[in-house]
Each structure stands twice: as structure tokens, then as C-alpha cells.
Amino acid sequence: MIAGLLGAVVNLVVGIIVGGLTIYVGVPLGAGGATPTVEASFATAAVGAVLAVVVALLLGWVPLLGAVLPAAAWVGVVGHRTDARPPTAVGVGIVAWAIALVMTNGLSVLLLGGYQ
């Protein structure tokens, strides 16, 4: 139970940091011309990270949906809050989710000594 809660907190913190930076840098690179501020980028990342953690905690046990739905949550939040076009939102959302996933798996190995 504690390892699951610690993992959720680590996912949340890493998701906000990585997601905020990815949204701030990635959305203006898209063809939509949207330019979020730093505050809006990190607020979007916070909403996306919370939603992704909740989805992962509730549906993480389902083999395919548990992996796909947190990424879909990121994409939906990025698209809704940044006024980015759908291809840009998909690109930024998936990149932010993938980087956060790799970092949280690395941190779980460092903090918990491997997968529990």
C-alpha cells in the first residue's frame, strides 16, 4: 500500500515538472501558434498529472487500458487547456507522458530498490 502511494506521489511530482517543461517548449513548436505562459504550462501539467495518476490508480490493473488511458488523459488535457491543434496536442501529450513514465520508473528503482 505504501509503495503504491509513494509511486503515485512520485508520478505526480515528476509528471508536473516534466509535463510543464514539455508543454512550455513543445506547444509553440506546433503549427497552431499557441504560446502558453510558464504558469499555464505548469497548471496544465498539474491537471494532466493528477488525472493520469487517478486513471492509472483506478485502471492500472487492466492490461491494455491501464497503459493507454493515462497517455490519453495527458493528450486531452494538453489539447483542452493550451488551444493547440490536435496533432500538436497528441505529440506534446505523448512525449510528456513517455518522458515522465521513463523518469518515474527510474526513480522507483532508485527509491524502492526495484519493482515491488
Residue 39 DSSP label: H
Structure confidence by residue, pLDDT tens digits, 48-61: 888 887 888 888 88
The answer to whether residue 43 sits within a structural domain is: yes
- Does pTM surpass 0.85? no
Structure confidence by residue, pLDDT tens digits, 65-106: 888 898 888 888 888 888 888 888 888 877 877 887 788 778
Nine-digit cell at 13? 511530482
**Structural domain tally of the chain?**
1
Inter-axis angle of helices 2-26 and 38-59, to 10 degrees? Answer: 140
- How far apart CA 104 and CA 15 sit, in angstroms, is 8
Q: What end-to-end distance do the CA atoms of the chain give, in Å?
A: 11
Q: Find all residues with CB under 8 Å of 83, minimum gap 6, and list them.
A: 32, 34
**Domain residues for 75?**
12-28+35-112
The answer to whether residue 2 sits within a structural domain is: no
